[in-house]
A = this chain, B = another copy of it.
Amino acid sequence: MKVMIIGGVAGGASCAARLRRLDETAEILLVERGPFVSFANCGLPYHTSGIIAREQDLLVANEAYFKANLNIDARTRCEAIAIDRKAKTVDLRHLETGEVTTESYDKLVLSPGAPSVAPPIPGIDLPGIFQMRTVPDARAVREWIEKGSLFLTGMSKYSGFQTARPKTRAVVVGGGFIGLEMAENLVHRGFDVTVIELRDQVLAPMDREMAEIVERHLNHHGVSVVLGDAVTAFTPREDGAIEVATRSGTEFPADIVILALGVRPDTALARSAGLEIGKLGGIRVNDHMQTSDPEIFAVGDAIEVRDTVTGAWSLVALAGPANRQGRIAADVIAGRDSRYRGTQGTSIIGLFDGAAAWTGASEKALQNAGRQDYEKVYLYPNSNAGYYPGAKPIAMKVLFSRTDGRLLGAQAVGMKGVDKRISTLAMAIQMGATVYDLEEAELCYAPQFGSAKDAVNFAGMVAADVLRGDMPISHWGDPSEAILLDVREPAELRVESVAGAVNIPLRQLRERITELPRDRDIHVICRSGQRAYYATRILLQNGYRAHTMSGGMLARYHRGVLDS
């Protein structure tokens, strides 16, 4: 059996290695149009700042490794240009020589990835404008930055002249993973960074109000975030920099520009071979990773996957799913019945020692899928025991089914312990856990690591309190005629208060309860929602129509969590 794999990074390389383990005799040909197979593309932004010091560190395995250890014929700078499905051949162009050869296959695996979007903006090819998808991209950025620094070093040595201004202004176009990671790494290199994002939020998979916390955190670290604006042109400036013009009419001078506008499945080869393409523009596969031609498989960023929560087709460019898809394709080629379960979309991004992470469906994804049976809670538990030094709050949004309590999605932003909570909740979603299961979860607790009631338990308790009717909730911005009752202490209200809210501190509520009307809805506010819940319990049991304002003041503007 001869298996050809087109694309040698995450999905393709995993498929090749797995297939060899399952089948010693298969002839495996791995072709990659770039100069490297199996490189760590998630590390690229961190190489530009030097956090990952050596380019070598990004290279997981090379052609020699594939040959020696796996008996796999891996070829770089080799581009597949056409598939003949009847003849079961692929035309390969060797980019060094231009030579085209034809190779046959019994099974073909497409792992072409998803290149960055590069719209036809005038000036997009100017020097100093970079993408960040490949090792050469990272090398180019690094060299560009270091050339600038060298020049500055030179200046300070031989100075006297008022020459060029230092190269210190960066514009990042796009506020997704790569854009924000590049923003951080450019700050580490001393740049003033502006991120320009077309949408009204960064990190599109998050809900907007959670992304706001991220935006404030970026601001806190000196990154300007411009939302709802689009770049219309790049023009060279007299001082050697680039003028970045936007739709809103603002102009941003930049010594370096990173284009991180998102990615789009590379389907050129699949389309020209007549393989089915999904509505979102990705290659359509079944759960065996087979395309519409059962002899041709596709894996990785180029395919559409089923969202495990909503069941909707989606495009998800993540390394973990790509690797699993590669393994499954190999299994199926080797005659096994492995099936891909869909993609949950679990993701994390580091943000200046903090992190934002999510798993499962966002609220907007649920809305897009037409789900109306969900509820949400906001909470701000500590990363670990509050009495142990260094505990930090985590801003969490948890989505669950009102019908059966099933966990649907979770988002978290914080300085510490974010990855643990989202990984734990990701496992919970995978296993079909309900919020009642989260209440009972038995997680690691010592004061350095968690709390006796872990953030995950706390999420379950709050959500379950809602579902059991113990804590009717309301949300900021919901239309309402309700009375607002603030149960914080007067000293807290002096810092920030809500116009028109009645203030009765929790500890006085029992004795002053008759000051409140029984015939109106009362929305109870405190800092994070905990005291409001206690007050809600008192009110409900005394015949009042109380609701807890989920997340309290912290959820009002979604700020002050990371950077307080």
Contact = CB atoms under 8 A, between A and B. Distances in A.
B69 A534 contact: yes
Q: Which of A385, A420, A446 has the most CB of B within 10 A?
A: A446
B437 A43 contact: no
Given A68-B507, A427-B428, A452-B10, A346 B442 contact: yes
A286 interface: no
B359 A442 contact: yes
Band of interface residues on A: 35 or more
A450 B507 CA distance: 45
A470 B21 contact: yes
Contact of A423 (B21, B424, B432): B424
A131 interface: no
Nearest to A53: B389
A42 interface: yes
Contact of A433 (B385, B427, B442): B427
A541 interface: yes
Interface string A434-450: 00010111111111111
Interface string A190-215: 00000000000000000000000000
B444 A423 contact: yes
A506 B69 contact: yes
B350 A449 contact: yes
A318 B10 contact: no
A121 B236 CA distance: 85
B321 A42 contact: no
Contacts of A69: 506-507, 534
A442 B344 contact: yes
A497 interface: no
A450 B51 CA distance: 16
B537 A21 contact: yes
B440 A389 contact: no
A419 B450 contact: yes
A357 interface: yes
Contacts of A506: 69
Contacts of A518: none
A387 B443 CA distance: 29
Interface string A446-462: 11111011101100000
Interface in A465-523: 470, 506-507, 510
A443 B426 contact: yes
Q: Which of A46, A53, A320 has the most CB of B within 10 A?
A: A320
B447 A43 contact: yes
A347 B450 CA distance: 11
Given A24-B538, A40-B387, A387-B58, A449 B323 contact: no
Contacts of A321: 442
Contacts of A450: 348, 419, 423
A452 B323 contact: yes
A355 interface: yes
A23 interface: yes
Interface of A: 10, 20-25, 40, 42-43, 46, 51-53, 57-58, 60, 68-71, 318-324, 341, 343-350, 355, 357, 359, 385, 387-389, 419-420, 422-424, 426-428, 430-433, 437, 439-450, 452-454, 456-457, 470, 506-507, 510, 533-534, 537-538, 541-542
Given A43-B387, A430-B433, 20 more contacts: A10-B452, A20-B537, A21-B533, A40-B447, A46-B388, A57-B387, A318-B445, A320-B445, A345-B442, A346-B442, A347-B444, A350-B446, A355-B449, A419-B420, A423-B450, A424-B427, A427-B431, A427-B443, A430-B437, A431-B431
18 contacts: A21-B537, A22-B470, A42-B385, A68-B507, A69-B507, A323-B453, A324-B439, A344-B442, A346-B443, A347-B444, A348-B444, A348-B446, A350-B446, A359-B444, A423-B424, A423-B443, A428-B431, A430-B440
